[in-house]
Every structure is written in structure tokens, then in C-alpha cells.
């Protein structure tokens, strides 16, 4: 029997319940840093040591964190549905919970990439990239993270996944970051859509929407009841 496809787009809200800070707080800071000073190509050129240190610290936090009930519930959903997760998050909590199909829009912090050729990607041994670590071309390694001002290479693949959804679920994202925010508009109008967040984002032009104004862990429990009707 062919399983129905559930496509889930997750944001910082699902990782926050595992103790990871959201990418950008209301004051524009991330862990006390101006994001423009640590999350742009210009920041890397200006002060690579600061950027490297910042992401090394974030990586340690990710490795110390554990998946929460929402991550595990989405993984368990694979028993009955063809589940594809598209995440804006740079952590690997979905994979550690057992999800098999995960598309990372903004990279994965547990990997490094060449600062010369972004297609050269390497798993990180341990929790740090050292400034002396280089790729096979001899260029310094940097975090495998999409920074502001850089292209999002997985966006077209993600759009095609969204277009095939039988059910579409949005969890823990304010839809403030593009192009990820535009993915909702690739979902077919007849497809049932679920939005899980304590603060439901304003989305125009969507139909068949069920709003679940709860945290990720609480809202996913409600989602399971809807999907198993």
C-alpha cells in the first residue's frame, strides 16, 4: 500500500523545547551576538576567528541537546505515512530522533564545508572546527551553514517536496526568513494544512488550514489525532 505523504516544515520553535535558543530574538541578537557579525560571508572575511568560535560554541550546545517529544513523534509517524521533513534548523535533532527523510535548508552545524567550494562538505570529528583545518583544496573549513546573503541550495528540492504533500504541517516557525517562508505557497490548495505554534504566523492565500496554537510537543500530539481520523 502506498503511504500518504506528510511534509513537515520545522523552525526554531521545535528545537527550543530541547533547550536550543531561537536563531534571532526580538532584539536581533543570537546568544548575545549581532547576527550580522557572525552569520554573513562578510563577517567571515572580516573576523573568521570570531565566526568559527561562535559556531563551535553553538555546535557544543547542539551535541549536548537531545530530541524532544515532538521530534520523536514525527519520527514515529513514519510507520503510517511517508514523512518528509524540511527544516530551517541547523541542528541534527530530527535525525537523532529517527527521521529518515530530512532536508536541511540552512545546512547542518555538525558538518564543515570548504570556504572555497561549498560543495565540499565534511563531517566534523568532535565538536570544533579549528582555524588550521583545511579542505582538500587547502582552503580553511567553515561551518556548513547558509549565511545571510548566500543562496539556499536546497530550496528548489524543498519546493518540489511541498508540491507533493498529501498533508502539510508547519511547526515552530514565524515564516520571517525567505526563501523558506515561501515554501507554503508550493503546497496544493486542496492539501490539508496544519500550523503548530503558540503564535500562529499570518499567512495569506492559504486554504484548508487547521491552526493549533500550542508548543511543538503539545501541538504534535493534537496533529496525530487529526491525521488518524
Q: Which positions are catalytic?
A: 106
Decide the pairing of beta strands 167-171 and 141-145. unpaired
Q: Which residue has the cell 487547521?
A: 210
**Residue 211 phi, psi (nearest 5):** -100, 125
The C-alpha atoms of residue 8 and residue 46 are separated, in whole angstroms, by: 37
Cβ neighbours for 137, distance < 8 A, ≥ 6 positions apart: 114, 116, 117, 120
SS3 of residue 167 by DSSP: strand
The C-alpha atoms of residue 192 and residue 8 are separated, in whole angstroms, by: 12
Decide the pairing of beta strands 82-87 and 102-104. parallel
Amino acid at each position: 500500500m502506498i503511504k500518504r505523504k506528510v511534509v513537515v516544515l520545522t523552525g526554531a520553535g521545535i528545537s527550543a523545547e530541547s533547550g536550543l535558543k531561537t536563531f534571532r530574538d526580538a532584539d536581533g541578537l543570537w546568544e548575545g551576538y549581532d547576527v550580522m557579525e557572525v552569520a554573513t560571508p562578510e563577517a567571515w572575511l572580516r573576523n573568521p576567528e570570531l565566526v568559527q568560535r561562535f559556531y563551535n560554541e553553538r555546535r557544543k550546545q547542539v551535541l549536548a541537546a537531545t530530541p524532544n517529544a515532538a521530534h520523536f513523534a514525527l519520527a514515529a509517524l513514519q510507520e503510517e505515512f511517508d514523512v518528509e521533513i524540511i527544516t530551517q534548523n541547523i541542528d541534527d535533532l530530527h535525525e537523532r530522533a529517527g527521521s529518515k527523510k530530512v532536508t536541511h535548508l540552512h545546512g547542518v552545524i555538525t558538518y564543515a564545508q570548504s570556504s572555497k567550494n561549498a560543495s565540499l562538505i565534511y563531517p566534523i570529528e568532535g565538536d570544533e572546527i579549528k582555524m588550521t583545518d583545511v579542505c582538500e583544496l587547502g582552503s580553511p573549513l567553515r561551518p556548513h551553514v547558509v549565511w545571510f546573503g548566500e543562496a539556499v541550495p536546497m530550496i528548489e528540492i524543498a519546493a518540489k517536496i511541498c508540491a507533493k504533500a498529501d498533508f502539510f504541517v508547519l511547526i515552530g516557525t514565524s515564516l520571517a526568513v525567505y526563501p523558506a517562508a515561501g515554501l507554503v505557497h508550493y503546497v496544493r490548495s486542496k492539501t490539508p494544512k496544519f500550523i503548530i505554534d503558540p503564535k500562529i504566523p499570518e499567512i495569506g492565500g492559504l486554504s484548508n488550514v487547521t491552526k493549533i496554537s500550542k508548543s511543538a510537543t503539545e501541538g504534535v500530539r493534537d496533529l496525530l489525532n487529526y491525521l488518524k481520523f
